[in-house]
Chains A and B, each alone.
Chain A
């Protein structure tokens, strides 16, 4: 698992360095049970915030684009009450521990369900958002 995670994070960092500036790795660690990558980057006047963890059978992510502390894009795969409510309606409490891919927009005032995203998907969204 460690080698797979190492290769995966390396690909993310290669892509990040191709597109963004001032990459600052805040956390990167690997073990037999879990691996984590957290970094910040700048792009034009935007802040890029990325966290991702990999466990044996699961990938969790949080990819954010911020401008002046406001969240322009927030892609998460994590358990999230509003996202679960959107998916299951009033029955969402039966699914509270479910991880759900979703997208925060407009400083988290809007939320949309998504399919599972990759860091590449996030980069494309950032480029499209700014254009």
Chain B
């Protein structure tokens, strides 16, 4: 548990509505949830761009480009700069996974 300083003028009003700690934690949870949802939305938008281009999710792409020689050759032929895409795509996939997991943690605790 970490101490957070709250301005007196808010503290008095909060007391009027009940348990101050509970209210502050609820406000923080709502705020963090909104911020995480925004991050999920941005990551989803960015991954969609690559999923449309390569017609598959990143995990499938990463596996096939490593394991399948024919697929590797096709991708290299069609998109000679595929490594550039793959790096950025990987980032946004990691982001999506991370923020979805954070969101699930918060929702499961509530």
A58–B53 Cα gap in the complex (Å)?
A: 26
Chain A residue contacts of B19, Cβ below 8 A = none
Contact assessment for B95 and A78 in the assembled complex, using a CB-CB cutoff below 8 Å: no
Query: Nearest Cβ distance between residue A45 and chain B, in whole angstroms?
Result: 18
- Interface of chain B, main secondary structure: helix
The stretch from A12-20, A49-57, A114-122, A123-131 touching chain B is A49-57
A34 touches which one: B65, B69, B91 (CB < 8 A)?
A: B91
Most buried by A among B65, B69, B83, B90: B83
Chain B residue contacts of A32, Cβ below 8 A = 98
The interface bits of chain A over 93-105 (1 if a CB of B lies within 8 angstroms of the residue's CB, else 0) are 0001100000000
Chain B residue contacts of A52, Cβ below 8 A = 87
> What number of B residues sit within 8 Å (CB to CB) of A?
23
A78–B82 Cα gap in the complex (Å)?
A: 11
- Interface of chain A, main secondary structure: strand
Contact assessment for B91 and A64 in the assembled complex, using a CB-CB cutoff below 8 Å: no
B54 at the interface (CB under 8 A from A): no
Given that A33-B94, A53-B90 are known contacts, is A38 also in contact with B69, CB under 8 Å in the complex? Answer: no
Q: Which residues of B contact A (CB under 8 A)?
A: 39, 42, 46, 65-67, 69, 72, 76, 80-81, 83-88, 90-92, 94-95, 98
Show 8 A/B contacts (Cβ-Cβ < 8 Å), sorted by A: A27-B88, A32-B98, A34-B90, A35-B91, A36-B92, A49-B84, A60-B90, A108-B80
